[in-house]
């Protein structure tokens, strides 16, 4: 057993978390000139996806597989820095929507160029086809259908 061996080799959760930490650090290094962390860039990009009307916070949290309080915590520095604004929904004033400000759009576009570099490096090292396959697999793992099936599955005797 080498010193790089460990529990992560036998546990999907540990292996994914370990890989996510390293990949997050590598992408953060490339995106750093924008002043954003990878998690902030991902959040800005998800909000940008919904356009100028923004998105209600609950579906945004669900899309990011986060709870509302974690989303609120992650949004705080972005709202403080004027990149995101929280606005009331037109039809239900109790619902808040997140949308990018003009500054947020510019910052997301700046970081997007850097992200493309990071993604290009990843695809070069890992392989574009394997990269696409991995994103598809991880997309399934992060889906509500997978979570529902996982929760409904009982361990096999002796496993």
For residue 1, tell me if it sits in a domain.
no
Inter-CA distances, 52 with 48, 85, 141, Å: 8, 11, 30
Burial label, 36 (beta-carbon count in 10 A; 0-12, 13-18, 19+): buried
Give a yes or no: residue 159 inside a domain: no
- Using DSSP, state whether 56 is helix, strand or coil: strand
pLDDT digits (tens, 9 = 90+) for 109-154: 999 999 999 999 999 999 999 999 999 999 999 999 999 999 999 8
What is the band of 91 on the pLDDT scale with cuts at 50, 70, 90? Answer: confident
Whether the predicted pLDDT of 1 surpasses 80: no
Domain of residue 118: give its range: 7-152
Q: Report pLDDT for 32.
A: 97
**Does the residue 106 lie in any domain?**
yes
pLDDT digits (tens, 9 = 90+) for 34-48: 999 999 999 999 999
Number of domains composing the chain: 1
């Amino acid at each position: 057993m080498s010193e790089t061996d460990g529990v992560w080799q036998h546990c999907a959760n540990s292996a994914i978390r370990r890989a996510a930490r390293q990949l997050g650090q590598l992408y953060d290094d490339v995106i750093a000139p924008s002043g954003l962390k990878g998690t902030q860039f991902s959040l800005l990009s998800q909000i940008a996806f919904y356009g100028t009307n923004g998105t209600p916070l609950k579906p945004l949290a669900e899309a990011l597989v986060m709870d509302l309080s974690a989303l609120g915590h992650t949004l705080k520095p972005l709202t403080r820095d004027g990149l995101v604004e929280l606005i009331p929904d037109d039809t239900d004033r109790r619902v808040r929507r997140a949308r990018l400000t003009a500054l947020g759009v510019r910052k997301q576009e700046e970081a997007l160029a850097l992200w493309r570099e990071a993604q290009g490096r990843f695809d070069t090292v890992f392989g574009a086809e394997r990269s696409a396959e991995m994103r598809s697999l991880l997309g399934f793992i992060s889906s509500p259908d997978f979570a529902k099936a996982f929760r409904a599955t009982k361990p096999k005797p002796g496993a």
